[in-house]
Amino acid sequence: MKKKIALGILILLVLIQFIPVDTTNPTVDTQKDFITVTKAQQEVAQILKTSCYDCHANETAYPWYFKIAPVSWWLKNHINEGRRELNFSIWGDYTAKRKDKKMKECIEMVQEGEMPMWSYTLVHKDAVINEAQQKLLVDWFTTLRTGDAN
Ligand code: HEC
């Protein structure tokens, strides 16, 4: 019985590898990108690209383990959800109110250490934000706040 269950799981694991996961990025219009639109300074841009853009922009770098289901499903879900919440690539399309709301949320997420996601920084050590970087981000996000979302 145990052998059959193990075999069943193994077959299932092999079969799910054939379910395609989309790893193409939507085209990026840099004119709409957050960094371009807000004229973010180099350091801020660098932190965002390293710590946020894999999930919150259309510039995801898909690692090798993205070829393995169900890991790929789990990761793809983060990307889909992340982009839905906040997509820096289409910043130019956001309304003033949405922009302000997102900046408010970003400040909270970064201050509370909730973003980048802990599971992400486990693998991407360079995405960990130190105190100085945290301050840079929060200061920049605060500068961009307009109060429209209040
Ligand atoms: C591994 C993917 C990933 C990375 C990297 C990541 N995020 Fe997220 N982010 C998500 C997902 C998934 C959600 C939606 C679910 C949630 O709120 O936990 C989210 C939600 C958010 C939200 C909305 C939270 C709310 O109040 O509803 C903000 C703002 C945000 N992220 C900012 C950032 C910033 C800023 C960075 C970089 C410093 C970052 N994220 C890095 C995946 C990611």
Q: 67-93 pLDDT, tens per residue?
A: 999 999 999 999 999 999 999 999 999
Looking at the 3D structure of the chain, how many domains does it have?
A: 1
**pLDDT at residue 60, as a whole number:** 97
Instruction: Domain of residue 43: give its range.
Output: 22-144
Judge whether residue 150 has pLDDT over 90: no
Q: Which of 38, 52, 83 to mutate to test the pocket of ligand 1 (most atoms within 8 A of CB)?
A: 52
- Domain assignment present for residue 9? The answer is no
Residue 10 has pLDDT above 90, yes or no: yes
Say whether pLDDT at 15 is over 90. yes
Task: Identify the residues whose C-beta falls under 6 Å from ligand 1.
Answer: 51-52, 54-56, 78, 81-82, 85-86, 102, 105-106, 109-110, 115-117, 120
pLDDT tier at 44, thresholds 50, 70, 90? very high
Q: Which one, of 69, 64, 76, 75, lies nearest residue 22 by Cα? A: 76
32 and 38 Cβ atoms separated by less than 8 Å? no
